Structure 1
C-alpha cells in the first residue's frame, strides 16, 4: 500500500477552525502585553529624566533597583522597585480613597491583613514614623498576622482603632493563664530579693473608648467575649494596677476621651494617671502634694493613619506641668526611644519616689515619660520588646534597681506578646537577683 501524500507543514493557526490542532495567533495580544510591561517598568525612569521624583509616602526608604546577581530575586523584587518609584502613586492612593468614600461611603480597604493583603493596593508595612513636631516619637506598630483581621478598624466619626486590640484576644500567641502564671513567677523572683514589684497594664483604646467602634468589625464577638475574663485574671491573678477607673475619671474631668481619635495611645492625661498610680502604689498618699496644670499644646505623629498608607497626620495633645512638692515643676522632655536603657536622675523632693526604679515597659512608658520623670528621681527605662538590648543587659537593669515596674499594654498581655514571660528570662532574673539581694 502506498503511503498518503505528505501535506506541506503549516502553522497551526492556518488550520481550519474545526481542526483539533487549530490554535489562533496571539501576536497582537502578545505585542500589547510586551508594550504594557515595557511602559510599566520604564515609566519610573522616564519620569525621573523629566524631573519627577517619587516621595516617601509610606515612611520607609524607597526600594532600590534589584541586583542582577540576586538570581530569581531580581524578578520578585522588580515590582516593588517599580511600585515605589511611581511618582504618581500618592495621587493614585488618594484617588482610590476618593472613589471608595464617594461611591461606597467608606475608606478604601488598604489595611487588610494576611491573605487579603495581596490586593491591588495593599497596605504598606508600618515603619518608625519621623520625629513629631514635639512630644514623644511615634512608636512602631506591628501589622496583623491573621487572615481576616484588620490592621485598622475604622470607627464612627473618623475614629480609628488598632486591629490587634481584637486580634490579640481572639488568637493569642500564649493563653492568658500561662501569661499570668509567668508574671507571678517574675514577681516572686523580684520580691524574694528584697525589691518592690509593680505590674501595670495600660488599657487598649478600644477598652476605654468603645463608643466609636463600628457595629461590626473582624474579631468583635470573640474579643468582647474574652476581654472580661482577661481583665479579671490580670487584676486578680496578675495583681495589676487597675488604671481604668482613674482614666475614666480623668476623661470625665476634661470632657473628652484621653485617647486620640487617630492614634492608639493615650494623651498626656493618661501619663499623669500612670505616674500617680505607680507612686501611690509604692508609697500610699504620696501624690497628695502633687500639683499639675496645663502648660501648652504640642503635635505628635499619629500612628494609625500610617497603617492606612497616610503620612503627615498628627494628633494634638495638651501638655501639663507636674510639681510633686506643689512648687517645683519636674515634668521633663519626652523620651525618643527606650530600645536601650535610658536613665534619668534628679534631686529628691517631697512627693517623689527616690529609690532606684526600673520601668520595663513599652510605648505607653514612652508616652508617659515626661510625667514619670517627675515622680521618680532615679529611673531607668527599657523596652521589653527591644532587640537592641541583650537578655543579659536587661537582667543587669533588674539587678541595679530597687523597684521594678512592669508596664505592658492590654493587647500584648492578652495576646501573650510579652517576652518577659519567657521561662529562660525569668530563671535568669531569679538567679541574678538572688545573688544580689537588696538589704
Structure 2
C-alpha cells in the first residue's frame, strides 16, 4: 500500500481502533455517563429542591456560600462546589446520620469538617491555604464532663499562617498608626475556651503538644509586646465569684459575664474609676443556639443569663440588645449619663463582642463596631469609620491571632488605614 493510500484513510477515533492496536484507548462511556449524571444531580439538587420548598440550613456559624458570579472567570467553576455543598437542603440530616453511624460502629465521632472551613466565629479567610492539610485535626474536640471545644483552638495554633513574630509586628504596626494620628489604641485578646478551661480538655488529642507550646509562648510574649489586655485571670475570678463557668460548656464563647468583664476593662483604661457607679443586676434569661454542636449536626442550646446595667447607679437599665455579627457595622448611642464614656469609640470586634455589645451600649455614648473581615476587605471604608473615633479598640480572638489568621494582621493593611487616620488627626 502506498503512502498516498495511507493518507487518504478517514480519521478514526482512538477508541474505535482494534483493541490490539497500540493507539487504542477505551472511552469508558458508561462510567463517564454515570459520572456526568452524578455531577448534574449534585449541582442541580439545591435548585430543584428549592423550587419545591426545601431550604438549606446553616451548620457552621457563617453565611452559606453564595452562588459564584460568572464575572469571576474560572472562579465560577471552582466556587460551584462550595455553593452546592452548603446549599444541599438535607445536609444537616446527612451530617447527623454519618455522626451517628460513626459513633455506633467505631465508637468515635465522625470527622465531618476540617480546618479548611471558615471559623464558626467569623474572621473569613482570604489568604492561601497552609501547606499542611488541617483535616488531620477534628472540627470538634470532645472533652471531659460533656464539654465540647472548637477544633480550631488546636488546629490554628499548630498550623499557623503567620509566625508569632509576624503577628506581634502586625499588631504593633496597628498601634503605631493609630497613636500617630492622636488617637488612643486599645487591644483585647479574647482567650480561647481551651485556654481558660484546659482542665476539661481530653487527656490526649491530636495537636496537644504543639498547641500547648504555642499557647504558652503566645501569652508569655504577646501581651507585653503589644500592650494587649490579658483577661485570663479576671475571667477566672469572675467565674469563681459567680460560682459558674464563664464559658459555655458546649459553645466556644464566653458568657455575658465575660462580655461585662471586657467592658469594665475597656472603660477603666479610658477613665479610671468610671465604673464605680455602675449597678449591674441579673435580668432576663433566654436560650441561645450553641455553635459547636452545629458542627456535629446537632441542635442544642445553652441558657443565657443577661444583665441590666445602670452606669449612674440609678434604677433605669441602659443596655441595648441589638443582634449583629458586625459585618454590617453596628452603631450604638447612649445618653451621656454619669458613668458613661463620652468619647467617640470605634471598635473592631468579632463574635465575642456580641456578648458584650449590650453593655458597651449602656456605658459608651458613641461606639460603632465592625468585623475584622471588613478591615482587610475594604481598608478605605474601615479607615473612614475608625477616623470617626477618638479611641480605636480591637477585640480579637486568641485562636485567630495565635494562628495568624486575621488578614488585617498584614502591616500593609494597617498602613492603608493609617494613611486615612493621619489625614484626619485628633488634635
Aligned match for 2:335, one of 341, 347, 351:
347
Aligned to 1:198: 186
* Cα deviation, residue 161, structure 1: 0.9
| Counterpart mapping for 1:157-306 below 5 A | 157-306=145-294
* Cα deviation, residue 32, structure 1: 13
In 1, the alpha carbon distance for the partners of 2:240 and 2:94 equals: 42
- Write the deviation string for residues 11-50 of structure 1: whole angstroms up to 9, x where unpaired: xxxxxxxxxx9xxxxxxxx9999999989999999xx99x
- Write the deviation string for residues 244-284 of structure 1: whole angstroms up to 9, x where unpaired: 11110111122221211221111111110010010011111
Aligned match for 2:373, one of 355, 366, 385:
385
In 1, the alpha carbon distance for the partners of 2:118 and 2:367 equals: 30
2:380 and 2:417 in contact (8 A); partners too: no
In 1, the alpha carbon distance for the partners of 2:384 and 2:35 equals: 59
- Tell me whether 1:396 sits opposite 2:396 in the alignment: no
Aligned to 1:109: 111
1:56 and 1:62 in contact (8 A); partners too: no
- Tell me whether 1:326 sits opposite 2:328 in the alignment: no
In 1, the alpha carbon distance for the partners of 2:123 and 2:162 equals: 22
- Structure with greater Cα Rg: 1
Output the aligned Cα RMSD.
3.9
* Cα deviation, residue 83, structure 1: 11
Change (3 A) 1:286 1:112: same
So what's the TM-score if we normalise by structure 2? 0.77
- Write the deviation string for residues 297-328 of structure 1: whole angstroms up to 9, x where unpaired: 11222211222233x32222100011111113
1:57 and 1:309 in contact (8 A); partners too: no
Gaps of 5+ in 1: 1-20, 22-29, 65-69, 115-124, 129-137
Aligned to 1:14: none
In 1, the alpha carbon distance for the partners of 2:347 and 2:65 equals: 36
In 2, the alpha carbon distance for the partners of 1:147 and 1:189 equals: 37
Change (3 A) 1:329 1:90: closer
* Cα deviation, residue 288, structure 1: 1.4
Aligned to 2:360: 372
- Write the deviation string for residues 316-344 of structure 1: whole angstroms up to 9, x where unpaired: 21000111111132111133221133222
Change (3 A) 1:39 1:258: same
Change (3 A) 1:61 1:189: closer
1:169 and 1:415 in contact (8 A); partners too: yes
So what's the TM-score if we normalise by structure 1? 0.75
- Tell me whether 1:361 sits opposite 2:363 in the alignment: no
Q: Secondary structure at the match of 2:347?
A: strand
Gaps of 5+ in 2: 1-19, 21-28, 68-72
Aligned to 1:155: 143
> How many residue pairs are counted as aligned between the two chains?
384
Change (3 A) 1:84 1:241: closer
1:323 and 1:329 in contact (8 A); partners too: yes
Change (3 A) 1:150 1:90: closer
